[in-house]
A = this chain, B = another copy of it.
Amino acid sequence: MSDLKFGICPQAFWLNMEQCCWSSNETSFELDKGNCSQWFYWSEILTSSNTGTFAYIISYLFYIIWALLFAALAAGLVKMFAPYACGSGIPEIKTILSGFIIRGYLGKWTLLVKSVGIMMSVSAGLNLGKEGPMVHIASCIGNILSYLFPKYGRNEAKKREILSAAAAAGVSVAFGAPIGGVLFSLEEVSYYFPLKTLWRSFFCALVAAFVLSSINPFGNEHSVMFYVEYHRPWMFFELVPFIGLGVIGGVIATIFIKCNISWCRFRKTSILGQYPVIEVLMLTAVTAILSYPNPYTRMGTSQLIYLLFSQCDVSSNDGLCDYTNEKANIAGPGVYKAMLLLSMAFMLKLILTVFTFGIKIPCGLFIPSLAMGGITGRIVGIFMQQLAANYPHLWVFDNGCGLPGQEDCITPGLYAMVGAAAVLGGVTRMTVSLVVIMFELTGGVRYIVPLMAAVMASKWVGDALGKQGMYDAHIQLNGYPFLDSKEDIVHTALAADVMQPRRSENLNVLTQSSMSLEDIEMLLKDTEHNGFPVVVSRESQYLVGYVLRRDLLLAIENAKRTIDGLLPESLVLFTEVTQQVVPPPLKVKKILDLAPITITDQTPMETVVDMFRKLGLRQTLVTHNGRLLGVITKKDILRYIKQVDNEDPSSVLFN
């Protein structure tokens, strides 16, 4: 479908240019069909020629029209059938895995629309990737399949294990990186990742990788996306530019995140947010118009990355490989022109991606980040290469480039790879998983130290300039109640300072054996709490247990149907009942949770937050010498953390 923007294979319209031209044996990158006679550009069909200004304008127009068509389809589908299918989905999946429930977010309509929509939005040539959405698609499949097995479908905690494994499988197929997928799920997506989930994710990713390599969609025997093979190892002094690339990557990522978040905030509050389809169409038109003239933005982003990563050899006919002297690697005019075009492509991609990530169609940010980083890296690489070629006897090159036969000591493609990892690392703040994904993507295990150094530098710079990665920033922007397990705050408060209510006479409790049905129904009507602590008596406040509002409502409703002579003044008993009472009491001992998690009022908040994170609590009861003082809910914890961070506590959204 991407190639439909350029032309068509009349004998078999479903083939892309490469497949269409397989018989003619001579195609290079997408922009040039070589001497293949099966494929027709739109201009060839309409004007029987592919040269000249008129043909160019025809091609240009067709490119824009197709892009708009695809974008309109994607935006329309999302708007009409599944509003949740937009974006990358990773911030929401993180929130879901932390224990929050977003109904319908992983449903079948989302799955369907996202699957079709992502094809459309990628084909439209927008600056977005398919990797994030594929994690969302895999999670939808995991969620839907889990309903086939009651053990998983009915238990939210078990279902989250499935979703963690599904996220791993999603990255596994998106990049052909099974181990990277498992680690991505561990490091970036999942909230709680025990070893058992690790092994299951591993198995899930293995099956995904196996199926992927049987289908072999990348059409190469390596079953990796951007297989590279460099002839030379890296040299020690190169660590300096590699770490430099990490720093640049961190800076680019921070600029990108800040601008994107500002724009998304503006969209939320302005009139623009009410016309998502129009926004998509306008952005697509601008993207298509600005991208077509520059060959590096016109080609698909994956192809651009492949080109940037690859090493020049005799068969390369791109301007990037126009060296005047095959041996000495002195750049020719083609290289300088390519660098200029690449710089323009970088600026364009950076600006357009800022506006693209967050629009109401499926869109991921792995591929645009890799492309931005790849361009930066390639430019730095060519600069280093020219330095080495022109001044081979500088002391830094001493043990490598000065010797005869060692002139090609700098590989610009490697710099592109390192730069790509740096920007992606800065944007997502991944470390281990990113390095593994990078070498599964490229096969470059030998370059693990450069990759690690750049990713580490990028993460540090990113953390120093702006605390959050893109996903966390979007979680905050949307106000999802996500309790970050990474943050490490110095807490000075005690549980007593955070618990609700502030004054204990306002505490809504049930007593175990002295409240009437009327009292309880009144309490249920007056309050909105999800549950109530049960105490021995109002005076003593000794804690007995905890009962959920839902269970209490059900029990009362049930009792009204089944118990004869139930009066408003009937007692509601949470205790064992032995003797006969009139009017007949409502016995509800069964619905009482006798093992609520409790803490004392003197517990430091550090411990409390830790318990909420590790045990996945929704609330805890606060006691003093056995007497109930109050309740701390997850909402209170989130509000407290916002306060500690000097942020507006009301920005967190609840249900």
Measured CA separation A446–B202 after assembly (Å): 17
Q: Pick the contact of A626 from B602, B614, B627 — CB < 8 Å?
A: B627
A182 within 8 A of B: yes
A77 within 8 A of B: no
Measured CA separation A560–B46 after assembly (Å): 105
User: Is B214 a contact of A236 with CB atoms below 8 Å?
Assistant: yes
Kindly specify which of A279-287, A360-368, A429-437 makes contact with the partner chain.
A429-437
Q: Pick the contact of A448 from B233, B440, B598, B625 — CB < 8 Å?
A: B440
Chain A: interface residue count, which band?
A: 35 or more
Q: Pick the contact of A221 from B195, B206, B233 — CB < 8 Å?
A: B233
User: Is A449 a contact of B213 with CB atoms below 8 Å?
Assistant: yes
Closest to A540 in B: B626
A180 to chain B, nearest CB (A): 10
Counted per complex, copies of this chain come to 2
When distances are taken between beta carbons in the complex, the residues of chain B under 8 Å from A432 are 179, 182-183, 198, 202
A522 within 8 A of B: no
Closest to A543 in B: B626
When distances are taken between beta carbons in the complex, the residues of chain B under 8 Å from A603 are 595
User: Is B615 a contact of A595 with CB atoms below 8 Å?
Assistant: no
Kindly specify which of A322-330, A548-556, A604-612 makes contact with the partner chain.
A604-612
A265 to chain B, nearest CB (A): 27
Measured CA separation A456–B626 after assembly (Å): 50
Per DSSP, chain A at the interface is helix
* Contact bitstring A433-465, B, C-beta under 8 A = 1, else 0: 001100110010110110011001001000000
Decide yes or no: A625 and B213 within 8 Å by CB, A202-B431, A453-B206, A598-B598 being known contacts. no
Measured CA separation A544–B601 after assembly (Å): 11
User: Is B446 a contact of A223 with CB atoms below 8 Å?
Assistant: yes
When distances are taken between beta carbons in the complex, the residues of chain B under 8 Å from A170 are none
Measured CA separation A199–B431 after assembly (Å): 7
User: Is B625 a contact of A178 with CB atoms below 8 Å?
Assistant: no
Interface residues, chain A, with chain B CB atoms under 8 Å away: 178-179, 182-183, 187, 194-196, 198-199, 202-203, 205-206, 209-210, 213-214, 221-224, 233, 236, 239, 431-432, 435-436, 439-440, 443, 445-446, 448-449, 452-453, 456, 459, 485-486, 488, 495, 536, 542-545, 594-600, 602-604, 607, 610-611, 614-615, 623, 625-627
Q: In the complex, given contacts A210-B239, A595-B602, A623-B626, what are 12 additional A-B residue pairs having Cβ atoms less than 8 angstroms apart? A: A178-B448, A179-B435, A182-B432, A195-B485, A199-B431, A202-B431, A210-B449, A443-B446, A542-B627, A545-B602, A595-B607, A598-B599
